[in-house]
Amino acid sequence: MTSRQHRDQQGAPSTVTSTTPSPPGTTDALAVPVSSLSYAEASRELDAIVAFFEDSEVDVDQLVTKLQRATALVDELDRRLRATTAQVEELVPKLAEASRSDAGPSTDEP
């Protein structure tokens, strides 16, 4: 079931609901904030957009919307990778230090 915002005859917002599921990669998927997707979900959605551009005639009406969504997905995926890299770079030295501490005194000394 999908909901879409429309305006009634007086210009007030109203919601029209459809019981027909939308195909993947359509505007309903675009309604989900990129930040609420898991990394895997965002990656799959980006793959679907790329496949859409590679495998079908590009619908001019969807072109900009899909490119904007793809850009948002790439930005979010990049942000998460950078954050993960920073965390790993912070944690690896701590792990190495803990490993050296657990090993006890060095036996290399004369």
Q: Is the pLDDT of residue 105 over 80?
A: no
Q: Which helix (H) or strand (E) holds 15?
A: strand 13-18
Residue 54, domain member (yes or no): yes
In a domain, 12, yes or no: no
Q: Quote the CA–CA distance of 83 and 89 in Å, as a whole number.
A: 10
Query: What are the counts of helices (DSSP H) followed by strands (DSSP E) for the chain?
Result: 3, 2
Residue 46 domain boundaries: 22-101
Please say whether the beta carbons of 48 and 25 come within 8 A. yes
Residue 1 lies in a domain: no
Q: What is the pLDDT of residues 41-79, one digit of tens each?
A: 999 999 999 998 888 788 888 889 999 999 999 999 999
Residue 38 resides in a domain: yes
Please tell me the predicted confidence (pLDDT) of residue 3.
40
Give the tokens for residue 109: 């000394």
How many domains does one find in the chain? 1
**Does the predicted TM-score (pTM) go above 0.75?**
no
pLDDT value of residue 6:
41
